[in-house]
Amino acid sequence: MQDSDVIVIGSGIGGLCAAGLLARYGKRVIACESHIIPGGAAHSFRRRGFEFDSGPSFYCGLTGAESLNPVKQVLDILGESIQVIPYDPLGHYHFPESTFAVYSQIERYRQEVQKITPQGAKELQRYEARLLGLYEAMKGIPTLALRADWQIIPILLRHYLPSLAKMLPHLPIVQASVGSVMDATVQDPWVRRLIDLECFLLSGLKAHGTIAPEVAFMLGERSRAGVEYPVGGSGAIVKALVRGLERWGGKLRTGCHIEQILLSSGKVTGVQTSQGEIISAPIVISNASIWDTYNHLLRPEDLPASYRQAALDTPAVASFMHLHLGIRSPGLENLTGHHVVVHDSQQDITTPGNTCMISIPSVWDAKLAPAGHHVIHAYTLEPYAGWERNEGYEQKKREKAQTLYRALERIIPDIRDACGGRSHRVVVELIGTPLTHAHYLRRYQGTYGPAIAAGQGTFPGYNTPIPGLYRVGDSTMPGIGVPAAAASGILCANTLKT
């Protein structure tokens, strides 16, 4: 008798979706999470009355009967739901020369562009039409219906033939970069920068590195379903997934770090925790990244050498500097929630420190901060290389956070004002570096995810060369982001269902 039918290593969005669905399909499931808080990149944590999102804060389609968001589809099937707060404009992009309000509502978005560049707005419309056509075709096939093996073929042919037919005219751009769509439709430099920026926010790569379906899905969902924030913060999504897992008899063990995946005669037999406990199961699903799974959870001899090397050579997007602040809110009554600040137009938007993302979720859900306060998360890309916990660490950390403070000054000009060494506004300050990110999220070099550029490869699937070992999360198909990580969990669970 095995301890479980399935062990899931990690409780990121991909792991929780796979675990919850497999429990729902009748399997005995144990999810083991290293951290004391579940959720991985999407977890929230509390300090002195402030509820901080550690990563994502931008969501579409978490509610609504016809939502295409895979997270919503999983919550539905688990019998769970969350409450959300819709909002529009979805954010403000602050360029050195001006600030631009971004609306989910597509005509409104274009009207704003038109004020800056009438010709650019016309070109943007052509670009959007091309991508929304692809989105309309993709929309007919819900992620929850998919699996990742050959059995998908009869399912598609039996149930989704009209949707497949709709896809045919769009096949040329399904594997293409959105940069090729942009090249064919948009010449205006201002709009091209806007598209590059939105791609960078989505995939960590600019338009020529980002695949067209990813952008089509983002654009389609945000214009159709609108943008919304979960009541209680990003952690509310994680809590709902955990409730769903437990409702169907699955178990989540937090503070349970898995040291090794155990094999016998080349097949999975279970895992060993860092406390030396052995948990047996014929199936193990790793939600750790591709690098962490193959480098730390298996011995080198467990995998074919060339396969292992190719997997470990997967390029990685950089990590982050994070600034989490709890601030006093008087005088900030008109604050909005999402901001992107580009400091210098002469520098590439991907240059670390140049593009800063800011989210102030207490604007939507006041309960995330004590009365009279706001909670802020600001972050920017930062390479992992060069970071060490040595005597210069604290000073380097403080210096590197200044680009985030400078970005915040575009929105809250007096954020750094102080009197007698005491800040007027800031009551809690937490600065995170790539080392912090790597440590708390157990992610190789604290990376955002694989840097697999369109046309230069595809994200690997859920399968591995080891019988009984599978992978989910943002280093598997379809890629980075909460909806994509959820989709990876669906694909894996549906494939293992029978």
Ligand X SMILES: Cc1cc2nc3c(=O)[nH]c(=O)nc-3n(C[C@H](O)[C@H](O)[C@H](O)COP(=O)(O)OP(=O)(O)OC[C@H]3O[C@@H](n4cnc5c(N)ncnc54)[C@H](O)[C@@H]3O)c2cc1C
Nearer to ligand X, 121 or 271 (CB): 271
Instruction: Pick from 27, 94, 139, 442 the residue near ligand X by CB under 6 A.
Output: 442
- Tell me: does residue 270 bind ligand X (CB under 6 A): no
- Tell me: does residue 9 bind ligand X (CB under 6 A): yes
Instruction: Pick from 215, 237, 258, 411 the residue near ligand X by CB under 6 A.
Output: 258
Instruction: Pick from 45, 50, 52, 58 the residue near ligand X by CB under 6 A.
Output: 58
**In whole angstroms, how close is the CB of 262 to ligand X at the nearest point?**
13
Nearer to ligand X, 233 or 481 (CB): 481
Nearer to ligand X, 257 or 367 (CB): 257
Nearer to ligand X, 58 or 95 (CB): 58
Nearer to ligand X, 297 or 404 (CB): 297
| Residue 408 to residue 394: CA distance in whole angstroms | 21
The residues, ordered by sequence, that sit 6+ positions from 482 with a Cβ below 8 Å of its Cβ are 13, 42, 56, 59, 71, 237
- Tell me: does residue 177 bind ligand X (CB under 6 A): no
- Tell me: does residue 14 bind ligand X (CB under 6 A): yes
| Residue 238 to residue 71: CA distance in whole angstroms | 10
Q: Which helix (H) or strand (E) holds 262?
A: strand 258-264
Nearer to ligand X, 121 or 263 (CB): 263
Nearer to ligand X, 58 or 384 (CB): 58
Binding positions for ligand X, 298-337, rule CB under 6 A: 320
Closest CA to 106 of 81, 82, 94, 89: 89
Q: Using CB under 6 A, which of the segments 54-62, 109-117, 147-155, 172-180 binds ligand X?
A: 54-62
- Tell me: does residue 185 bind ligand X (CB under 6 A): no
- Tell me: does residue 448 bind ligand X (CB under 6 A): yes
Task: Label the pairing between strands 99-102 and 91-94.
Answer: antiparallel
C-alpha atoms less than 13 angstroms from C-alpha of 46 in its C-beta half-sphere: 12
Instruction: Pick from 480, 487, 491, 496 the residue near ligand X by CB under 6 A.
Output: 480
| Residue 395 to residue 413: CA distance in whole angstroms | 24
Q: Using CB under 6 A, which of the segments 184-192, 305-313, 381-389, 478-486 binds ligand X?
A: 478-486
Closest CA to 494 of 180, 141, 172: 141
- Tell me: does residue 432 bind ligand X (CB under 6 A): no
Nearer to ligand X, 485 or 493 (CB): 485
Q: State in Å, rounded, how far the first CA of the chain is from the last one.
A: 20
Closest CA to 33 of 283, 348, 252, 302: 252
Q: Using CB under 6 A, which of the segments 192-200, 204-212, 402-410, 472-480 binds ligand X?
A: 472-480
Closest CA to 493 of 79, 66, 142, 26: 26
| Residue 392 to residue 395: CA distance in whole angstroms | 6
| Residue 355 to residue 352: CA distance in whole angstroms | 7
Q: Using CB under 6 A, which of the segments 39-47, 131-139, 381-389, 414-422 binds ligand X?
A: 39-47
Count residues binding ligand X (CB under 6 A).
38
What residues does 100 pair with on adjacent strands? 93
Nearer to ligand X, 15 or 220 (CB): 15
Buried b (16+ CB within 10 A) or exposed e, 350-378: bebbbbbbbbbbbbbbeebbbeebbbbbb
- Tell me: does residue 13 bind ligand X (CB under 6 A): yes
Buried b (16+ CB within 10 A) or exposed e, 303-315: beeeebeebeebe
Contact 38, 13 (CB under 8 A): no
> Tokens representing 388?
């060490």
Contacts with ligand X, residue ranges (CB under 6 A):
9-15, 32-35, 40-42, 55-58, 257-258, 287-288, 292, 297, 320, 379, 441-443, 448-449, 473-474, 480-483, 485
